[in-house]
Structure 1
Amino acid sequence: MTASETPPSFRLVYVPGVMPDKWARIWNERLPDVPLTLTQVPARNAGELLRDGDADAGLVRLPVDRSVFSAIPLYTEQTVVVVPRDHLVTAADEVSCEDLADDIVLHPLDDVLDWERLPGRPALERPATTADAVELVAAGIGVLVVPLSLARLHHRKDLTHRPLTDAPGSSVALAWPEDATTELVEDFIGIVRGRTVNSTRGRRQPAPQENATGSARGDRDGARRQQPAGRPAQGRSASAGRRGGSGGAAARNPKRGKPRRRS
């Protein structure tokens, strides 16, 4: 099979915490002939894969390089602090960064939050990954601040979380290389934006079948042009078209013009 004969496919990368299942299901319903390949990648690698052409689009965390990528922000996640279940902050429904002043706040190398200043006290070393940091929280080494989806992704029975009201949020976006906006990318944009399958901004619909006169509308126009002159249009009586004529008068007064009976 040559490259031109290779069936089309759509490659989507997504970062940890993002759940593309709903969009993937809609894609498979609308485009069953175009396989959708889903690949989870670390947040720091998503841009590189898109730039190198190893994926058609990605569900990524902002910011992205807008000189290279087009991006549609989808939502912003709540930020939470992950703590052991017996931690003092669990007594409150939500906490602030000031409430963590005495805690060691772990800062993994794959952190996705844009901090101006990390709350609490820094650890001696930065964990390599968020998963490693969660293990340290479970061991009582410190606490961890992450988007809510990552707290759920790394859930443990011995840990819990609380909203952190004054921490930066993390926004998720659909991104793709600006110079590679294909028809399949447009299809996926329509899905994540909730467009219906018949939306004019979705996949292009096939044109009406052409026939001898050029189009279905052309056939109707042509038929009207070919009707004999003087023949009334379909569904319209001849008498209705001849105003003031004898036929019209007879139609209005059927007794007029009736021959008298001879004596």
Structure 2
Amino acid sequence: MTGSDVPPSFRLAYVPGVTPAKWVRIWHERMPEVPLTLHQVPAAEAAGLVRDGGADAVFLRLPTDRTGLHAIPLYTETTVVVVPKDHLVAVSKEMSKEMSEEVSAEDLADDVVLHPLDDTLGWDRLPGRPAIERPATTADAIELVAAGVGLLVVPQSLARLHHRKDLTYRPLSGGPESRVALSWPEDETTDLMEQFIGIVRGRTVNSTRGRQAPAPAPAKRKRPEAEGRKPAAGRGRQRGSGAPRGGKRGKPRRRS
């Protein structure tokens, strides 16, 4: 099978915590003839995967190395601190009925705050006390939090992804934030990519944005003779020629 014979498809990657289900559903509704394949990729590998052609597009987190890539920021995530349910931060908020109250960096000053190697928040200075070693992944750090070794600061979607019954989380004020973006190669914006950008940006199926075939020129109106129809009676005559209007002429009056 030659390259031109291969049916079109769209390869979409995404980092943990991002849920592309809504956009994928719309794609299947609008483009049922073009299959879309999903692939989850570690955050550290997301930009490189699409840059090297391993995917047509990727949902990734900013900041990241955007060399050679387009990126459309979509939304900013809330930063939260993951703690055991019996931790002082969680218990004090529950007792005061301030469940939605944010935690400050000062609240974590006496705690060990874990810093996994796949962290995407880009800290200038991590709050709390540093751990002896950095966990390899966020999943490993969650296990350490459950074991009482320390706390973890992550985007809220990752806290939800790694939810455990013995853990909870609270919004953290003053910390760095993670933005989710759609990214694809700078030198290749295909028709399928334009379609997916339109879906993510909420364009309707009838939107004029994106690459579309030009509208056909309006057909020229044919003359009646060309369509096999006779011209209507009386058309084409000039006024003043032929019989006058008003019916038949009367007989001339006899002179006396």
Report the TM-score range of the alignment, normalised by the length of the smaller protein.
0.7 to 0.9
Q: Where does 1:47-126 land on structure 2 (aligned, <5 Å)?
A: 47-90=47-90, 91-92=92-93, 93-126=101-134
Which amino acid in 2 is paired with 1:28?
H
TM-score (normalised: structure 1): 0.81
> What is the aligned partner in structure 1 of residue 168 from structure 2?
160
8 Å CA contact 2:47–2:66 kept in 1: the answer is no
Distance 1:64 1:143 in 2: 24
1:218 matches 2:226: no
> What is the aligned partner in structure 2 of residue 256 from structure 1?
none
Distance 1:132 1:114 in 2: 19
> What is the aligned partner in structure 2 of residue 15 from structure 1?
15
TM-score (normalised: structure 2): 0.83
SS in 1 for 2:113: strand
Which amino acid in 2 is paired with 1:201?
R
1:149-169 deviation per Cα after TM superposition (whole angstroms, max 9, x unaligned): 000000000000000011111
The change in CA–CA distance for 1:122 and 1:206 in structure 2 (over 3 A counts) is: same
1:195 matches 2:203: yes
> What is the aligned partner in structure 1 of residue 253 from structure 2?
none
> What is the aligned partner in structure 1 of residue 46 from structure 2?
46
Distance 1:178 1:187 in 2: 16
8 Å CA contact 1:195–1:202 kept in 2: the answer is no
Aligned structure 1 segments of 4 or more residues deviating by more than 3 angstroms:
64-67, 205-208
**Residue identity (%):** 69
Distance 1:185 1:100 in 2: 44
The change in CA–CA distance for 1:125 and 1:67 in structure 2 (over 3 A counts) is: closer
> What is the aligned partner in structure 2 of residue 212 from structure 1?
none
What's the C-alpha RMSD, in Å, of the aligned pairs? 2.6
Which amino acid in 1 is paired with 2:219?
G
Distance 2:27 2:219 in 1: 36
Which amino acid in 1 is paired with 2:17?
G
Q: Where does 1:180-259 land on structure 2 (aligned, <5 Å)?
A: 180-205=188-213, 207-208=215-216, 215=217, 217-220=218-221, 222-223=222-223
Distance 1:72 1:223 in 2: 53
8 Å CA contact 1:70–1:175 kept in 2: the answer is yes
Mark the runs of 5 or more structure 2 residues left unpaired by the alignment. 94-100, 251-256
1:140 matches 2:148: yes
8 Å CA contact 2:63–2:120 kept in 1: the answer is no
The change in CA–CA distance for 1:67 and 1:131 in structure 2 (over 3 A counts) is: closer
Which amino acid in 2 is paired with 1:39?
H
1:68-118 deviation per Cα after TM superposition (whole angstroms, max 9, x unaligned): 111100000000000000111112322111110000000000001011100
Distance 2:127 2:110 in 1: 9
> What is the aligned partner in structure 2 of residue 254 from structure 1?
none
Structure with larger RCO (C-alpha < 8 A, sep 6+): 2
- Structure holding more helix per residue: 1
How far off is 1:186 after superposition?
0.6
Aligned length: 232
Mark the runs of 5 or more structure 1 residues left unpaired by the alignment. 209-214, 233-237, 251-258
How far off is 1:204 after superposition?
1.5
> What is the aligned partner in structure 2 of residue 253 from structure 1?
none
How far off is 1:64 after superposition?
3.7
SS in 2 for 1:179: coil
